[in-house]
Amino acid sequence: MPLREVVQFPDPRLNKVSEPVTEVTDAVRALARDMIDVMYDEPGIGLAAPQVGESIRMFVIDTDWSDQEIGKQPRVVVNPEISDREGRITWDEGCLSVPNYNAIVERDETITLRGTDLDGTPFEERAEGLRAVCIQHEVDHLDGILFIDRISRLKRSLYVKKRKKQLADELE
């Protein structure tokens, strides 16, 4: 089966606030598997459901899989909540939905993530550094926020201009 396509800026589906998952159905489990496939294929370290056009509160993450000794350990997070934020950190972020662009974003350095897995089992994870950044980035997607919404207006407008030109060039 072909992989799902990643929705890209300025697609308005990326700006929607996603709905909580009320029941983990077979369709939700199938979506999670599809998202994991897309994440590794792109490649990326996280992917949120709206990025494949599904407006539900679920994301997948695997921040260490490029390290061959660690290997692939995807985590599926349903209905995530972030709490116990500590410290600040800056990171050079990119996004599969924001092509050809990176920018420094300031985020919380250490966080606690709570959510449920695909069996409906609640879990808690304390995360710091890249993993904490990635979790905040993915939860932002579920709230219709992209990392370019967290940079200066000037930088954002320069990117939007560049992206529009790129899309226009693709049509020619």
- Catalytic positions are 138
Which residues here bind Ni ion, judged by CB under 5 A?
Answer: 95
Q: How far is CA 57 from CA 18, 21, 41, 77, 151, in A?
A: 6, 6, 22, 8, 24
- Dist CA 131 CA 91 (whole Å): 11
Instruction: Please identify, using beta-carbon distances, which residue of 12 and 26 lies nearer to Ni ion.
Output: 12
Query: For residues 132-169, b (16+ Cβ closer than 10 Å) or e, as one string?
Result: bbbbbbbbbbbebbbbbebbeeeebeebeeebeeeeee
At its nearest, how many Å lie between Ni ion and the CB of residue 44? 8
Q: Which residues pair with 78 in a beta bridge?
A: 58, 116
Instruction: Please identify, using beta-carbon distances, which residue of 25 and 90 lies nearer to Ni ion.
Output: 90
At its nearest, how many Å lie between Ni ion and the CB of residue 172? 28
At its nearest, how many Å lie between Ni ion and the CB of residue 133? 11
**Which residue is nearest to Ni ion, using beta carbons?**
95
DSSP secondary structure letter of residue 5: P
- Dist CA 157 CA 138 (whole Å): 22
Instruction: Please identify, using beta-carbon distances, which residue of 78 and 105 lies nearer to Ni ion.
Output: 105
Instruction: Please identify, using beta-carbon distances, which residue of 95 and 111 lies nearer to Ni ion.
Output: 95
At its nearest, how many Å lie between Ni ion and the CB of residue 26? 26
